[in-house]
Chain A
């Protein structure tokens, strides 16, 4: 029992180290996690506290519920359903960690708790597994090549399984190497499109070599498609249907996500065809509802241009881009005129009239004043004679 707990803790610790290392720099995260790993075995309550996944620990005997839990929790990140063989579990765990690593690289978010959860949730197999994983994850984290110890551990796992030993071992190691590759790649160049890496991995995991692994999970089998396997009649049992979920299962793997550049390139600028116009109309018609009250009707009318716009103000329809004070206070245009005398008086009357005239634009009014200015300028001599 204790060793089992330790096993979990070990993986969780390893996983945490992965996360922490990337987050807080290699040294500190590593140190803390190592501490956790050392501490973990002492008391059970402590373990629970540390990993905050007591639900899994308490329901460990009930494997089915636990695995169900895990499926729902893992749903978004996992490609397969619940695993059957311990080996498959192992592969899953590794796969999940991979995904987690890349996510962390990209998002740099604090999801440590989740990761832990996943790791602990997943580990329900025999004791050996846990220890091996502890080792492997450590190795991976440090970015070392696969050392003999690891290979030995993997073969130990393989021999503990009922299936083909050689195959299992090589698969395990292959998976570990692949994992390591990814880690290295991402360490070196942070510019790799993470999503592509993930999707690539997903494809690999469904490659024939992996498929050879016997998975009795029917969802996986079903989603493994190829058409022939899917006879409508065979897919009806309720127990199968009930496991269906939007969050579990694979994808079609036909498309790859386009990078933003190609997406932009694809957007060809062309004038909309009749198809586009009519489609837009059709879409707009979906949510076109008759107005529910008088105000909504007025909104509709305003949009159509029937109704005078709200709020009604004295600037509506003001097109010459001038304001009322420019229309009304025209004294400033009289500076070039004499300060007093009959001309001044006359001009004051003129601007008074202009300021009341709504039909002329400001420009026209100024032109009008300027005309008088020019006129009086021309007649200056005669005026002075008088």
Chain B
């Protein structure tokens, strides 16, 4: 019975559902979106619906991106390819981080140049009207349309962000005695304060995020000077004494809270923190209330206002208390600003930051990535490392959520967190972080520069903590497509290979090094050579090593166009000679031995012994004699031993024996002789 009733009702639901859909569709609504749950919820008005006529949907509205999004989701990253943006031009495939940065910047700046030209010379772009018109390809009208001196004209100029024109027009209006409304004056102040009274150059604001210099922020933290932190805060122009903003502010007949607020924000933005504070005091004296953005700006200015950590915190707290008194509800950015200030409050920051987080929680404000970024910075960028409690809690929180950008500092989080994982040497946390980063759209928070930093830290940590198989798997997975290893990464990889006794991989690492353009870095070459020549390996590996050695030799001898050749060091020479000898390439090895003499270096005993072994194996008594000669001419104590070995181990002809004998006799006076010898070769 119950089942039948159920079936009956569900049948009715279906009917009404389809009707509803038709009905909705008839109204040209996107009925795909009217999910069944909403339709089911309205089955109550079943009886009324029955009278309705069934109308076929006229048009089915598709999301214009749906198809493309579906298709895009089917494309995976190709671990062997460079980023998509480089694939236009095979000649401009980046080989390392510097290249990729340069190329992406070039591409972007090319785009910006094109935009600039279109905007600068719109008169040349009037012929090609597309049908339908594509507005984003057409030049915008940036010339003011309204002529004459009027408030309307001023408004238009403000809207077009013509800083200088607006100021001129305002002055003209004031001189003519025309009153300018408070609202318009305020928006003029907004404009002036935002640009710090400099002209709004379009390129500056349209900088793409991957063109940003992360270094700006780093330098900012190092210069907590009070008023004259020139060039330390934002890259924009500085706030000048008595600039137009201040002047207009002074001559305003009436000012409201907005006028004060925008002045404060402008002053903070352009580094005049002390002035901003004074302005805030004025605002209080005038019995106005500041808005939340102004408080946020003031809180970010705190480190520039006070020197001592405790004083800074006290001042920040004063601002927060004022907010509460003025009934201004704080937002996420308020707390992020507090935390940012606490970054520069040393130990006070550590204890207070947790209170701030709790306060956010109490107010139901969800932390953004920037919040966590500040928190991690406070706890893990000090001299003494905190235990991993906080970071693992942070990562747990992050895994549970998906993020939308809310604060400009959000972009720093993943790099900071990876740095912290690295400092803590905690591979588990790093994996957890990486998982969080790859979840959903979180990857978008990491721009190109930070991406490289992020992955190279992660990779170094992997090299340090993981099994070599895992490391190599990661290396293959991410090397050219996600990031370009730094020299430090390669060094780490070599060390990991050494630790795991997997030296046979070195030749392929060398190939990558060449690819990355690291083949001229002394430190890497030394490390590579010493690892290759440390032990005797099976023949095939030795052959591969000898090939690497040949490459390295070529690097040293290369006389490039503008490159100075890499200097040979004694150890590098010895290693290369050793590698040649072990691979049985006597002639190549001898060439290396000769180099010793040319650069006045002395080969080690090991090198000479190995060379002699090689000469013996390949049955080259001549080379052996030459070696003895060389040793004698360099006055090495081992020459005697080498000589006796040569005598014993080689089958020598009479002439060779004689030569060998003669070396001994004129060993101390045969410098010129051996020189001429080597010349003859």
Give which listed residue, A263, A293, A306, contacts B75 with CB less than 8 A: A293
Do B358 and A249 have beta carbons less than 8 Å apart?
yes
Contact with A along B354-380 (1 / 0, CB 8 A): 111111011110000000000000010
Do B359 and A254 have beta carbons less than 8 Å apart?
yes
Do A311 and B317 have beta carbons less than 8 Å apart?
no
Contact A258/B329 with A236-B347, A278-B205, A283-B406 known, Cβ cut-off 8 Å: yes
Contact with A along B292-320 (1 / 0, CB 8 A): 01000000000000000110011001001
Query: What are 28 A-B contacts with C-beta separation under 8 Å?
Result: A199-B362, A222-B351, A230-B351, A230-B352, A232-B346, A235-B351, A236-B347, A241-B386, A241-B387, A246-B397, A250-B355, A252-B317, A252-B320, A252-B355, A254-B324, A255-B329, A263-B329, A278-B205, A283-B405, A286-B444, A287-B444, A290-B84, A293-B84, A296-B84, A305-B136, A310-B65, A310-B67, A311-B67
B360 to A, closest residue via Cβ? A251
Contact with B along A111-126 (1 / 0, CB 8 A): 0000000000000000
Question: Is A253 located at the chain interface by the 8 A CB criterion?
Answer: yes
Question: Is A188 located at the chain interface by the 8 A CB criterion?
Answer: no
Do A299 and B68 have beta carbons less than 8 Å apart?
yes
Question: Is A291 located at the chain interface by the 8 A CB criterion?
Answer: yes
- Residues of chain B in range 44-100 having any CB-CB distance to chain A below 8 Å: 58-59, 62, 64-69, 71-72, 75, 77, 83-85
Do A225 and B208 have beta carbons less than 8 Å apart?
no
Do A257 and B364 have beta carbons less than 8 Å apart?
yes
Give which listed residue, A199, A227, A258, A275, contacts B265 with CB less than 8 A: A275
Residues of A within 8 A of B407 (CB): 283
Do A295 and B351 have beta carbons less than 8 Å apart?
no
Do A306 and B136 have beta carbons less than 8 Å apart?
yes
Query: Please, how many angstroms separate the alpha-carbon atoms of A317 and B133 in the complex?
Result: 11
Do A284 and B405 have beta carbons less than 8 Å apart?
yes
Question: Is B330 located at the chain interface by the 8 A CB criterion?
Answer: yes
A296 to B, closest residue via Cβ? B72
Query: Please, how many angstroms separate the alpha-carbon atoms of A236 and B85 in the complex?
Result: 48
Question: Is B500 located at the chain interface by the 8 A CB criterion?
Answer: no
Give which listed residue, B265, B348, B351, B441, contacts A223 with CB less than 8 A: B351
Residues of A within 8 A of B77 (CB): 292
Using a CB–CB distance below 8 Å, which chain A residues touch chain B? 195, 199, 222-223, 225, 227, 230-233, 235-236, 238, 241-242, 244-247, 249-258, 262-263, 266, 273-275, 278, 281-299, 302-306, 309-311, 315, 317, 323
Contact A242/B387 with A252-B320, A254-B320, A306-B134 known, Cβ cut-off 8 Å: yes
Residues of A within 8 A of B177 (CB): none
Q: Closest 5 CB pairs between A and B?
A: A232-B347, A295-B72, A251-B358, A287-B444, A285-B209
Do A255 and B83 have beta carbons less than 8 Å apart?
no
B403–chain A nearest beta-carbon distance, Å: 9
Residues of A within 8 A of B64 (CB): 302, 309-310
Do B361 and A251 have beta carbons less than 8 Å apart?
yes
Known: A252-B356, A283-B408, A323-B58. 11 other contacts (CB 8 A): A199-B362, A223-B354, A230-B310, A244-B389, A249-B355, A255-B359, A274-B187, A283-B406, A285-B209, A293-B72, A310-B64
Do A252 and B358 have beta carbons less than 8 Å apart?
yes
Contact A288/B347 with A227-B310, A244-B354 known, Cβ cut-off 8 Å: no
Query: Please, how many angstroms separate the alpha-carbon atoms of A244 and B350 in the complex?
Result: 10
Question: Is B424 located at the chain interface by the 8 A CB criterion?
Answer: no
Contact A302/B411 with A227-B313, A241-B387, A258-B329 known, Cβ cut-off 8 Å: no
Residues of A within 8 A of B58 (CB): 323
Question: Is B438 located at the chain interface by the 8 A CB criterion?
Answer: no
Tally of contacts, chain A with chain B, CB under 8 A = 188
A267 to B, closest residue via Cβ? B329
A341–chain B nearest beta-carbon distance, Å: 36
Query: Please, how many angstroms separate the alpha-carbon atoms of A257 and B346 in the complex?
Result: 29
Residues of B within 8 A of A278 (CB): 194, 205
B587–chain A nearest beta-carbon distance, Å: 51
Give which listed residue, B66, B323, B347, B356, contacts A235 with CB less than 8 A: B347
Do B358 and A250 have beta carbons less than 8 Å apart?
yes
Contact A295/B68 with A227-B314, A288-B209, A305-B135 known, Cβ cut-off 8 Å: yes
Do A257 and B362 have beta carbons less than 8 Å apart?
yes
Question: Is B173 located at the chain interface by the 8 A CB criterion?
Answer: no
Do A274 and B190 have beta carbons less than 8 Å apart?
yes
Query: Please, how many angstroms separate the alpha-carbon atoms of A310 and B187 in the complex?
Result: 41
Do A286 and B364 have beta carbons less than 8 Å apart?
no
Query: Please, how many angstroms separate the alpha-carbon atoms of A317 and B330 in the complex?
Result: 46
A66–chain B nearest beta-carbon distance, Å: 19
Do B354 and A246 have beta carbons less than 8 Å apart?
yes
Do A232 and B348 have beta carbons less than 8 Å apart?
yes
Residues of A within 8 A of B83 (CB): 290, 292
Query: Please, how many angstroms separate the alpha-carbon atoms of A254 and B190 in the complex?
Result: 30
Residues of B within 8 A of A249 (CB): 354-355, 358
Contact A274/B447 with A286-B408, A292-B77 known, Cβ cut-off 8 Å: no
Give which listed residue, B85, B210, B317, contacts A254 with CB less than 8 A: B317
B381–chain A nearest beta-carbon distance, Å: 14
A247 to B, closest residue via Cβ? B393
Give which listed residue, A256, A262, A273, A281, contacts B187 with CB less than 8 A: A273
B187 to A, closest residue via Cβ? A273
Do A286 and B362 have beta carbons less than 8 Å apart?
no
Give which listed residue, A235, A253, A287, A290, contacts B445 with CB less than 8 A: A287
- Residues of chain B in range 334-354 having any CB-CB distance to chain A below 8 Å: 346-348, 350-352, 354
Query: Please, how many angstroms separate the alpha-carbon atoms of A76 and B635 in the complex?
Result: 79
Residues of B within 8 A of A223 (CB): 351, 354-355
Residues of B within 8 A of A233 (CB): 347
A358–chain B nearest beta-carbon distance, Å: 14
Query: Please, how many angstroms separate the alpha-carbon atoms of A296 and B187 in the complex?
Result: 38
Contact A238/B387 with A246-B354, A311-B62, A311-B67 known, Cβ cut-off 8 Å: yes
Residues of B within 8 A of A222 (CB): 351
Contact A266/B69 with A242-B387, A273-B190, A283-B405 known, Cβ cut-off 8 Å: no
A237 to B, closest residue via Cβ? B384
Question: Is B321 located at the chain interface by the 8 A CB criterion?
Answer: yes
Residues of A within 8 A of B67 (CB): 310-311
Residues of B within 8 A of A310 (CB): 64-68
Residues of A within 8 A of B293 (CB): 275
Do A315 and B444 have beta carbons less than 8 Å apart?
no
Question: Is B449 located at the chain interface by the 8 A CB criterion?
Answer: no
Give which listed residue, B346, B355, B363, contacts A225 with CB less than 8 A: B355
A31–chain B nearest beta-carbon distance, Å: 33
Do B347 and A266 have beta carbons less than 8 Å apart?
no
Residues of A within 8 A of B194 (CB): 274-275, 278
B569–chain A nearest beta-carbon distance, Å: 42
A209–chain B nearest beta-carbon distance, Å: 22
Do B75 and A295 have beta carbons less than 8 Å apart?
yes
Residues of A within 8 A of B135 (CB): 305
- Residues of chain B in range 197-237 having any CB-CB distance to chain A below 8 Å: 205, 208-210
Query: Please, how many angstroms separate the alpha-carbon atoms of A296 and B72 in the complex?
Result: 6
Question: Is B570 located at the chain interface by the 8 A CB criterion?
Answer: no
A241 to B, closest residue via Cβ? B386
Query: Please, how many angstroms separate the alpha-carbon atoms of A249 and B393 in the complex?
Result: 14
Do B84 and A297 have beta carbons less than 8 Å apart?
yes
Do B393 and A290 have beta carbons less than 8 Å apart?
no
Contact with A along B231-275 (1 / 0, CB 8 A): 000000000000000000000000000000010010000000000
Query: Please, how many angstroms separate the alpha-carbon atoms of A284 and B447 in the complex?
Result: 13
Residues of A within 8 A of B327 (CB): 262
- Residues of chain B in range 577-603 having any CB-CB distance to chain A below 8 Å: none
Query: Please, how many angstroms separate the alpha-carbon atoms of A24 and B18 in the complex?
Result: 42
Residues of A within 8 A of B104 (CB): 290
Residues of A within 8 A of B24 (CB): none
Do A292 and B356 have beta carbons less than 8 Å apart?
no
A355–chain B nearest beta-carbon distance, Å: 19
Query: Please, how many angstroms separate the alpha-carbon atoms of A262 and B205 in the complex?
Result: 35
Residues of A within 8 A of B137 (CB): 306
Give which listed residue, A235, A292, A303, A309, contacts B84 with CB less than 8 A: A292
Do B359 and A252 have beta carbons less than 8 Å apart?
yes
Query: Please, how many angstroms separate the alpha-carbon atoms of A230 and B68 in the complex?
Result: 57
